[in-house]
Structure 1
Amino acid sequence: MLYMLFLLLVFTCKGSFLKTEPDVRSSIISALEKVTIFMENRYQDINLDAVLGFHVLQGYLKGALEKWPSKQELLAQHARVESMVKKLSSLLEKATHFLAQNDPTYFKEFAPILGPHFWIFPHSWNQTDTLMAYTSFGSTECFTEKMSDACFTYLLGTWKENGESCTVTSACRNTMTKPACSNYCLSHQLLYFIFADVKGCSDHVFLRTQHYKNIFCASMMKINLEIENNGFNVSSRDLFMENIMLCGMSGFSDFYKLRWLEKILTWQMPEEGCFGEPSQELEHSSGVEDEKKLLRRVKRREKMFADGCSSHHTAVAAGSLGGFLRYHCC
């Protein structure tokens, strides 16, 4: 009897997988094709955040193609992804050219993260541990974005001409390991350790990189679940997607929940292909003032377009959707 029940469960799960996974992939690919069209129309105007998000997307698409299932019925999807990769390669080259002209100082500081081989994507998956999450959060402004940017440039070696990379100041060490930070400060702490990973930095603080990633992403999962419980307020969607993008890049697969994917797909503007805040939604949002403060505080170079498209929203959406595709394709 138990054996028959086991077989029933196996075939039920297998049938469900064959039925849903191609649909999941198709939905993600369609959304990403629209995002790519937005990139095609706005590559001269988008900011560094958006270019970064599309670099992350491109990396995920390439990784997906390498492990794409060889089933006949999935060849059409494979071709669509391959087409996007080719188009993005050209668009990113053009966008980088305009970015260097439009914001040369900022571009110089962060040029290394826009390289074709900078990003490393997970080869194995972990799950967050709720016990490692902060029991409570402190100030949402643990540190300024100016401080965060400075610490990033010390790791990248762009803090001065011919600067040494992987430089860790005591201020940065204290800031980037400060406990109970939340929101964008928390995601910037995680990004700091991601950069250190990619650069191969060997300061003693990085001997505990995985430990910090475990704490940060467990806490970011806690934040995302709170955002979900609060009904995905407009002002929290950008942070929600950024947490998925960064913790997905850190190898935490429980951020790739199908119910979250379905929700993110509803936030895409169907005509523009971007993510942001349509004017009518802004007018009726109780969080408008909070969002304005948020933009001033953590996204100094945010680029909002007249149609409501946001460079930062679109960047983190592209990066998170690329992660969803990479996770569900293979």
Structure 2
Amino acid sequence: MSYTLFLLLISLSKSSLLRSEPDVRSSILLALEKATVFMESQYQDINLDAVLGFHILQGYLEGILEKWSSEHQSLAQRAQVESLVRKLSSVIEKATHFLAQNDPKYFKEFEPILGPDFWVFPRLWNQTDSLLAYSAFGGTKCLTEEISDLCLTYLLGTGKESGKSCIVTSTCRNIMTKLGCSDYSLSHQLFYFMFADLKGCSDHLFLRAQYYKNIFCASMMKINLEIETNGFQFSSRDLFMENIMFCGMSGFSDFYKLRWLEAILTWQKANEGCFGKPSKDFEHTSGGTDQKHLLRRIKRREKLFADGCSSHNTAVAVGTLGGFLYYYC
């Protein structure tokens, strides 16, 4: 191949990629609009996870509008994003009101993360290093959800030592730095360090925050690649998206693979706009094993709807798709 032809092919490849980016954004925006319609129809019943997922999405969209303010972008897409932000602001306010009534104790403990300035999104990007991933994973139950919540409330200042934030107990320190954890235990370890960053906690443990994030996200990438190899089994999809959401928010851009985005978009229920159980055929095609696995690891405040929609599944989906949109903008 001549050097001139090589340069021509590179040029064509780049121009093809650029032409595809508006289509990528349009596909994501369409999915997010459908998901917002679902939230509008269920705002009285969704749980804190769902409110948080849509709140993170709102933050991503506002960040996109800031990035677009000094650049020439599609006026139609900008108008779409502005309209979506307005809708989200209204429905999140209503959902938050009902959440405070339906689950007051849990709401009070995590109310700070629903504040307008809590979430900060990446401006610089990193890549995972596969050499840092665990060679083998230990138990999936390194920590319970109750302990995870407790450690997070200590950071937020809403736990037993109410009013004093950034508390790091020896139990939390040991659990959140334990190596070899997998699945939701691993993602919650990362979430803990994300919270510490966002709260500005200065305990000496957090001087090594990036060290742990590098290890956790390298291992979470390994898990996601295995989930992909296994054909994106339904019982793994929620974890798959949560890994993308948290590591993407931590600045690891290699989680935003277009082929993963394409897969996630196919998981949305076309009529309802939510994410959850694929179809009635699932019971017959996948058998009971996947369903039992799903129920074993389901969040204790999860809200499942009669149509197969899942609050947690939808929350991580919109948070993940918001990250994809933010990255590809």
Give the alignment's TM-score, normalised by structure 2: 0.96
1:218 paired residue number? 218
Shift of the alpha carbon at 1:13? 2.8
1:150 paired residue number? 150
Q: Deviations over 1:72-98 (max 9, x none)?
A: 6x1101100110001101111111100
Q: Does 1:301 align with 2:304?
A: no
Name the SS of the counterpart of 2:141 in structure 1: coil
1:120 paired residue number? 120
Q: Aligned ranges for residues 186-201 of structure 1 at < 5 Å?
A: 186-201=186-201
Name the SS of the counterpart of 1:223 in structure 2: helix
User: Are the equivalent residues in 2 in contact too, given 1:53–1:319 (CA < 8 A)?
Assistant: yes
Tell me the distance in 2 between the aligned counterparts of 1:172 and 1:26: 42
User: Are the equivalent residues in 2 in contact too, given 1:47–1:301 (CA < 8 A)?
Assistant: yes
Given residue 301 of structure 2, which amino acid in structure 1 is its aligned partner? Answer: R
Q: Does 1:290 align with 2:293?
A: yes
1:50 paired residue number? 50
Runs of 4+ in 1 over 6 A off after TM superposition: none
Tell me the distance in 2 between the aligned counterparts of 1:264 and 1:281: 19
User: Are the equivalent residues in 1 in contact too, given 2:154–2:161 (CA < 8 A)?
Assistant: no
Given residue 258 of structure 2, which amino acid in structure 1 is its aligned partner? Answer: L
Shift of the alpha carbon at 1:5? 4.3
Tell me the distance in 2 between the aligned counterparts of 1:261 and 1:63: 20
Given residue 201 of structure 1, which amino acid in structure 2 is its aligned partner? Answer: C
Q: Aligned ranges for residues 28-39 of structure 1 at < 5 Å?
A: 28-39=28-39
Query: Which deviates further from its counterpart, 195-204 or 1-10?
Result: 1-10
| Structure 2 portions without partners, runs of 5+ | none
Tell me the distance in 2 between the aligned counterparts of 1:231 and 1:305: 25
CA spacing shift, 1:174–1:27, aligned 2, 3 Å: same
Given residue 41 of structure 1, which amino acid in structure 2 is its aligned partner? Answer: S
Q: Does 1:256 align with 2:256?
A: yes
Tell me the distance in 2 between the aligned counterparts of 1:312 and 1:202: 31
Given residue 249 of structure 1, which amino acid in structure 2 is its aligned partner? Answer: M
1:326 paired residue number? 326
Given residue 323 of structure 1, which amino acid in structure 2 is its aligned partner? Answer: G
Tell me the distance in 2 between the aligned counterparts of 1:56 and 1:2: 49
Q: Aligned ranges for residues 88-237 of structure 1 at < 5 Å?
A: 88-160=88-160, 162-237=162-237
User: Are the equivalent residues in 1 in contact too, given 2:267–2:278 (CA < 8 A)?
Assistant: no
Given residue 157 of structure 2, which amino acid in structure 1 is its aligned partner? Answer: G
Shift of the alpha carbon at 1:6? 5.4
CA spacing shift, 1:64–1:309, aligned 2, 3 Å: same
Shift of the alpha carbon at 1:8? 1.4
* Aligned CA-pair RMSD: 1.4
Tell me the distance in 2 between the aligned counterparts of 1:99 and 1:322: 23
Tell me the distance in 1 between the aligned counterparts of 2:199 and 2:174: 20
Query: Which deviates further from its counterpart, 160-169 or 143-152?
Result: 160-169
Shift of the alpha carbon at 1:279? 4.7
Shift of the alpha carbon at 1:326? 0.4
Given residue 324 of structure 1, which amino acid in structure 2 is its aligned partner? Answer: F
Aligned residue pairs, count: 325
| Structure 1 portions without partners, runs of 5+ | none
Q: Does 1:78 align with 2:78?
A: yes
Given residue 314 of structure 1, which amino acid in structure 2 is its aligned partner? Answer: T
Shift of the alpha carbon at 1:12? 1.4
Tell me the distance in 1 between the aligned counterparts of 2:13 and 2:175: 46
Given residue 245 of structure 1, which amino acid in structure 2 is its aligned partner? Answer: M
Aligned-pair identity (%): 72
Q: Deviations over 1:105-158 (max 9, x none)?
A: 100111011111110100010000000001110000011111111100000000
